[in-house]
Copies of this chain bind each other. A is one copy, B any other.
Amino acid sequence: MKIPLILLTNDDGYNAKGLSSLLNSVKDFGEIVLIAPDRPQSGMGHAITVNNPVKCKEINYFEGINAFNCSGTPVDCVKMGIYLLNGRKPDIILSGINHGSNVSTNILYSGTMAAAVEGALDGIPSIGFSLTDFKEDADFSYAEKIVKLITGKVLLEGLKTGTCLNVNIPNVNENKIKGIKVCKQGKAFWEDTFEKRKDPLGKDYYWLKGSFTSKDEDKETDINYLENNYVTVVPSQYDMTCFESVENLKKWKL
């Protein structure tokens, strides 16, 4: 059996604990290549670096692992990782483990999930993993079991071409976990505001502050199941067409 080639990345930066945990989970599953941002890149969504060059360097941060950091975004890291593989195609791309959840519409804002979606765009089975704990020293020990289980299953079964998985893991004691639910992306939104401050020169600046709010009554969603202590798995794809509206708008006779 061919040894799987596994590309790892994240959005919290190469030195985040969650990435070490991801590596720890799968390092025996195949050949690992790791490339991650050289600084935190949370909230970068599907951004790529187009007006500037990126830097990329080999690092010895992970013992015995072929690893790089990159000045770009998580999506840049995926592109750069594939470039560095020089024609070899990863069998799977894993992103995370993110410090903080990425359920619902956060798939759009999340650098972790954008890296997985970029993998899907390249036709590579990809998974983004997130734990509902923002802390730097979050406990990923149960999350590592989930990474092993789901990565193993995807390596065995594959994914539909053009899809990736958005996996979220509740930060509760393992004996409180109710199970794993395959479900859909919930409808929830950031209710944003900004906190206005003055810099030392008296000029205004603003900090974005949001609260994530769901009014979705549907229960078959990631946001609902995660709140109820399930691990959630949302298969995700990149076609954003609203097909119902295509038919309706044709009647406009533009």
- Chain A contact residues, CB within 8 Å of chain B: 40, 42-51, 53-57, 73, 75-76, 79-80, 82-83, 105, 107-109, 114, 117, 121-122, 149-150, 153, 157, 159-160, 162-163, 180, 182-185, 187, 189-190, 192-194, 197, 203-208, 233-246, 248-250, 252, 254
Number of copies: 2
* A208:B47 contact, CB within 8 angstroms: no
Q: Which residues on B sit within 8 Å (CB–CB) of A108?
A: 46, 114, 117, 121, 238, 240
Q: Given that A56-B206, A83-B192, A183-B246 are known contacts, is A50 also in contact with B46, CB under 8 Å in the complex?
A: no
Per DSSP, are chain A's interface residues mostly helix, strand or loop, or mixed? mixed
Q: Which residues on B sit within 8 Å (CB–CB) of A248?
A: 160
Q: Which residues on B sit within 8 Å (CB–CB) of A44?
A: 45, 47
Q: Which residues on B sit within 8 Å (CB–CB) of A236?
A: 240-242
* Distance in angstroms between the alpha carbons of A243 and B46 in the assembled complex: 22
* B194:A80 contact, CB within 8 angstroms: yes
Q: Which residues on B sit within 8 Å (CB–CB) of A184?
A: 239, 241, 243, 246
Which 7 residue pairs spanning A and B have beta carbons closest together? Answer: A45-B46, A235-B245, A43-B50, A47-B47, A180-B254, A237-B242, A184-B241
Q: Which residue of B lies closest to A253 (CB)?
A: B180
Q: Which residues on B sit within 8 Å (CB–CB) of A235?
A: 241-242, 245-246, 249
For the A-B complex with A44-B45, A108-B240, A185-B239 known, give 9 more contacts whose Cβ atoms are closer than 8 Å: A45-B75, A46-B108, A55-B204, A108-B117, A157-B252, A160-B245, A182-B254, A184-B239, A235-B241
Q: Given that A180-B254, A248-B160 are known contacts, is A43 also in contact with B47, CB under 8 Å in the complex?
A: yes
* B245:A193 contact, CB within 8 angstroms: no
Q: Which residue of B lies closest to A234 (CB)?
A: B241
Q: Which residues on B sit within 8 Å (CB–CB) of A237?
A: 240-242, 245
Q: Which residues on B sit within 8 Å (CB–CB) of A233?
A: 249, 254
- State which of B48, B203, B238 has its C-beta within 8 Å of the C-beta of A208: B48
Q: Given that A107-B240, A157-B252, A246-B235 are known contacts, is A51 also in contact with B46, CB under 8 Å in the complex?
A: no
* B149:A121 contact, CB within 8 angstroms: no
- State which of B79, B82, B238, B244 has its C-beta within 8 Å of the C-beta of A240: B238
* Distance in angstroms between the alpha carbons of A234 and B121 in the assembled complex: 19
Distance to closest chain B CB from A97 (angstroms) = 17
User: Most chain-B Cβ atoms within 10 A of its Cβ — which of A40, A184, A233, A249?
Assistant: A249
* Distance in angstroms between the alpha carbons of A235 and B254 in the assembled complex: 14
